[in-house]
């Protein structure tokens, strides 16, 4: 069941299992708000106690719960003047800045493991995945269960430290499950691997380990599963009846050709294909047009930029350097089936208008040097409550599945980039969006850069600049999440 957690003027969707303990629920809230559980007050008919039974509280889907930050401790003497000279951020080196602002911890490179480190940092940003891992327990000794359990322990450890963490367990279990990640070169050193292949293997393990025992969609399918409806029509015999099929996937492909300039056009290119197969009406091989569209929009959408291809002349993967622009806010209306498009169109239009108005209000706050008064904060909370109510009413009216992206609008929140000329070399870096306590207009957000154990902060301009054109870092895996009103 999903409920909405309201904290500091923002609302976060959180999955709650009434059969689990309050501590598991609070940890899920911590993942999205950053409020430590020991300083958290959850308001459900009063303050939620740690020994409460969630199944007896009458929680309802999409119910809004308040989370307050509690300051613990008694008053003490006033602080004295600093004994050391004050050092400003602009005078610090990268390591000192990371320590001062308490950036999230990086991951230690264990020898050509940047492909894994960047992938793990991106995966960790999915709130629903953290909740599912917190509730995971298994006595199975399967390789997939071992990978899943090591991911659970790693993510939990990253929440409890500011120091870089070596992902030994995840790496060793991944190599046991998928031996290609244990390949070595002629000198006996571990080889560089493809981040997309690591992503695929990790999700495969998670899907199997976290899967539903009832035969319904498991957590991975619910949070990331997209459905493609494909229509196959014979180009040489138009009178031949078209066939329709459905397929579930966990990511979209963005093909890159000499004509590809934008993300959506590359995705459409991958969804519109020509194939050859035997025609029942012609009695021979014929050309068929295949057109696929999204009939389920997941809350978390993964896009793989297909930048590597096999070159027979050099017998290795080569990299496509072409510049392909991608947006911070992605509208998938043109990628959806006609049925889905007509259903979500009113919500899509309403959400885009709300996002525009929010950007306008955020720019006003920025012009006022970020000085928002308590009255401004209260007004913003009231406005957003009305905005959410409007969207909720539209979703209910249109009968849209609440576990999908109800508007078709996404925002970029994490990505993996690759630097270099081939998949067998170069360097991978992870990037995740930094949450802001005050409203920020789209394009003015700050992001974390995870270069293995080195973590720094960059602007959105840097994120948008990595669209290709050279051997510098270029977007390879994009993670979008449904815009949450």
pLDDT, tens digit, 9 for 90 and up, residues 346-357: 999 999 999 999
Q: Given 114, 234, 254, 304, which residue is catalytic?
A: 114
The pLDDT score that the predictor gives to residue 349 is 97
The pLDDT score that the predictor gives to residue 100 is 55
The pLDDT score that the predictor gives to residue 93 is 61
pLDDT at 78 over 60: no
pLDDT at 74 over 50: no
The pLDDT score that the predictor gives to residue 350 is 97
Q: Are strands 40-43 and 329-331 parallel, antiparallel or unpaired?
A: unpaired
Give the number of C-alpha atoms closer than 13 A to the C-alpha of residue 81, restricted to the C-beta side: 1
Mean pLDDT over the full length of the chain: 88
pLDDT at 406 over 80: yes
pLDDT confidence tier of residue 86, bands split at 50, 70 and 90: low
117/181 Cα distance (integer angstroms): 13
Give the mean pLDDT of 365-377: 71
- Write out the DSSP string of 458-484: EEHHHHHH-S-SSSS-EEEEEEEEE--
The pLDDT score that the predictor gives to residue 71 is 37
Which residue, among 54, 27, 46, 28, has the nearest Cα to 38 in the 3D structure? 27
pLDDT at 371 over 70: no
343/340 Cα distance (integer angstroms): 5
Q: What percent of the chain has pLDDT over 70?
A: 89
pLDDT at 63 over 80: no
Nearest 5 degrees, angle CA 100-CA 109-CA 192? Answer: 140
Question: pLDDT per residue over 117-151, tens digit each?
Answer: 999 999 999 999 999 999 999 888 999 999 999 99
3-state secondary structure 233-301: EECCCCCCCCEEEEEEECCEEECCCCCCCEHHHHHHHHHEEEEEEEECCCCEEEEEEEEEEEEECCCEE
Question: pLDDT per residue over 8-56, tens digit each?
Answer: 767 888 888 887 888 778 878 877 777 777 667 887 777 788 778 887 8
122/7 Cα distance (integer angstroms): 24
380/357 Cα distance (integer angstroms): 11
More confident residue, 341 or 367: 341
pLDDT confidence tier of residue 215, bands split at 50, 70 and 90: low
| Alpha carbon distance, N-terminus to C-terminus of the chain | 18
72/258 Cα distance (integer angstroms): 60
pLDDT at 410 over 70: yes
Give the mean pLDDT of 423-442: 89
Q: Given 7, 12, 418, 427, which residue is catalytic?
A: 427
By three-state DSSP, how is residue 332 classified?
A: coil
Whether 114 is a known active-site residue: answer: yes
Under 8 Å CB-to-CB from 186, ≥6 apart: which residues?
none
The pLDDT score that the predictor gives to residue 94 is 58
How far from chain centre, in Å, is Cα 134? 17
Look up residue 223 and give its two tokens: 């949070």
Q: Which residue has the tokens 């891992």?
A: 133
pLDDT confidence tier of residue 373, bands split at 50, 70 and 90: low
Whether 427 is a known active-site residue: answer: yes
pLDDT at 72 over 50: no
pLDDT at 97 over 60: no
Q: Residues 219, 221, 225, 229: is their CA dihedral positive or negative?
A: negative
What residues form DSSP beta bridges with 311?
316
pTM of the model: 0.78
The pLDDT score that the predictor gives to residue 75 is 39
Please classify residue 386 by burial: count the beta carbons closer than 10 Å to its beta carbon, then call 0-12 exposed, 13-18 middle and 19+ buried: exposed
Report the interhelical angle of 143-158 vs 168-177 (nearest 10°): 160
More confident residue, 372 or 50: 50
- Domain limits of the chain? 2-69
pLDDT at 455 over 80: yes
pLDDT at 184 over 70: yes
Cβ–Cβ < 8 Å for 331, 281: no
Under 8 Å CB-to-CB from 295, ≥6 apart: which residues?
227, 228, 229, 246, 336, 337, 339, 340
Q: Which range has highest mean pLDDT (14-18, 209-213, 296-300, 372-376)?
A: 296-300
CATH topology for 2-69 is Ubiquitin-like (UB roll) (3.10.20)
By three-state DSSP, how is residue 430 classified?
A: strand
pLDDT at 189 over 60: yes
The pLDDT score that the predictor gives to residue 67 is 63
């Amino acid at each position: 069941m999903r409920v909405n957690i309201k904290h500091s003027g923002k609302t976060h969707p959180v999955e709650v299992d009434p059969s689990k303990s309050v501590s598991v629920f609070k940890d899920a809230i911590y993942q999205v708000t950053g409020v430590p559980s020991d300083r958290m007050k959850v308001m459900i008919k009063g303050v939620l106690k740690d020994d409460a039974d969630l199944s007896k509280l009458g929680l309802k889907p999409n119910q809004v719960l308040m989370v307050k930050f509690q300051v613990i401790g008694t008053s003490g003497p006033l602080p004295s003047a600093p004994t050391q000279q004050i050092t400003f951020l602009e005078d610090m080196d990268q390591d000192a800045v990371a320590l001062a602002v308490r950036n999230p911890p990086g991951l230690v490179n264990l020898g050509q493991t940047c492909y894994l480190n960047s992938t793990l940092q991106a995966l960790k940003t999915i709130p629903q995945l953290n909740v599912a891992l917190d509730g995971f327990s298994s006595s199975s000794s399967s390789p997939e269960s071992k990978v899943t359990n090591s991911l659970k322990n790693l993510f939990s450890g990253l929440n409890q430290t500011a120091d870089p963490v070596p992902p030994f367990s995840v790496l060793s279990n991944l190599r046991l499950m998928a031996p290609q990640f244990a390949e070595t070169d002629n000198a006996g050193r571990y080889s560089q691997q493809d981040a997309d292949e690591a992503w695929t293997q990790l999700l495969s393990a998670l899907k199997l380990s976290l899967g539903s025992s009832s035969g319904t969609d498991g957590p991975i399918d619910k949070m990331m599963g997209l459905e493609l409806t494909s229509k196959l029509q014979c180009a040489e015999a138009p009178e031949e009846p078209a066939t329709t099929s459905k397929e579930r996937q966990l990511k979209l492909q963005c093909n890159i050709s000499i004509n590809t300039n934008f993300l959506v056009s590359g995705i459409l290119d991958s969804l519109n294909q020509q194939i050859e197969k035997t025609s029942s009406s012609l009695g021979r091989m014929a050309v068929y047009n295949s057109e696929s569209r999204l009939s389920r929009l997941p809350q978390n959408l993964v896009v793989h930029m297909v930048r590597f291809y096999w070159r027979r002349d050099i017998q290795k993967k080569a990299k496509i350097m072409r510049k392909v622009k991608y947006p911070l806010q992605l509208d998938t209306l043109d990628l959806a089936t006609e049925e889905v498009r007509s259903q979500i169109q009113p919500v899509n239009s309403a959400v885009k208008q709300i996002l525009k108005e929010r950007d306008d209000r955020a720019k006003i706050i920025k012009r006022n040097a970020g000085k928002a008064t308590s009255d401004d904060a209260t007004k913003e909370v009231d406005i957003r409550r009305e905005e959410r109510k409007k969207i909720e009413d539209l979703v209910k009216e249109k009968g849209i599945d609440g576990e999908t992206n109800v508007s078709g609008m996404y925002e970029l929140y994490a990505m993996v980039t690759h630097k270099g000329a081939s998949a067998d070399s170069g360097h991978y870096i992870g990037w995740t969006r930094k949450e802001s306590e005050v409203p920020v207009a789209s394009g003015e957000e700050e992001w974390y850069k995870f270069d293995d154990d080195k973590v720094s902060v960059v602007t959105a301009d840097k994120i948008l600049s990595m669209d290709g054109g050279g051997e510098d870092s270029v977007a390879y895996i994009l993670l979008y999440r449904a815009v949450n009103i």
